[in-house]
Structure 1
């Protein structure tokens, strides 16, 4: 009866792999070959040198991802600007509602005229930003 309990007892640890890697090969590189190997490994973006070597040996596809810091920075700033632009739109709607509820129609129209001028300036600025974004994307695509 004790044998039966020991059989179903949790042993802990990892579950064994279906196909464990048990064969090991060692090779040596000189300084020049090692620097080439390390540069290829860095470009590959893989995090494990053994997996990189096996993928190269068996001609598996190696994906490389290059990140342009300028593009990332531009994207982050444009995203930040877009959120600020949306906040201005929300505030614009709130101001228009408040003008009509708290002021006379004549006074509200005067304030709206000033707001409309600033909105036109903001529209011109928005067009310039769109042009700059288009120039940036066209410049990156051509490279």
Structure 2
């Protein structure tokens, strides 16, 4: 009765896997082959080198992500610029309302004329920015098949 009781006790620890990886294979690489394997491994972004090699052997789909820091930086600055541009538009509307509220119509029209000149310059600048962005897309952002 003592032996039956000992067999039923929980010994703790990790539960065993249904299909454990017990087969081991060893292979050797030259320095050049090893460097190529490591660069492929780093480009894949996989956390485990063994799983990476298995996916290569059995032709599983492998993802390789390359991040161009220049493109990311350009995108972040363009996004920041866009938000600043939107805030200029909001301020523009507020200024027009304040001009007509606090000044005579003649004086407000004079200030508004100056504001229109600045707006025209800003529109030209925006067109230049759009052209630069299009050129950047064509030259530096290659579409992957």
The two structures share one fold, judged by TM-score above 0.5? yes
Q: With structure 1 as the length reference, what TM-score do the two structures score?
A: 0.80
1:112 shift after superposition: 0.6
1:60 shift after superposition: 0.5
Q: With structure 2 as the length reference, what TM-score do the two structures score?
A: 0.79
Distance 2:17 2:81 in 1: 50
Distance 1:79 1:109 in 2: 34
Q: Deviations over 1:60-107 (max 9, x none)?
A: 011111222221111111111111101100110111111111111111
The 5 Å alignment of 1:21-40 reads 21-40=21-40
> Which aligned runs of 4 or more in structure 1 are off by greater than 4 angstroms?
13-20
RMSD: 2.4
- Of structures 1 and 2, the one with the larger relative CO (CA 8 A, separation 6+) is 2
Gaps of 5+ in 1: 1-6
1:29 shift after superposition: 3.0
Distance 1:86 1:136 in 2: 22
Distance 1:76 1:29 in 2: 42
Gaps of 5+ in 2: 1-7
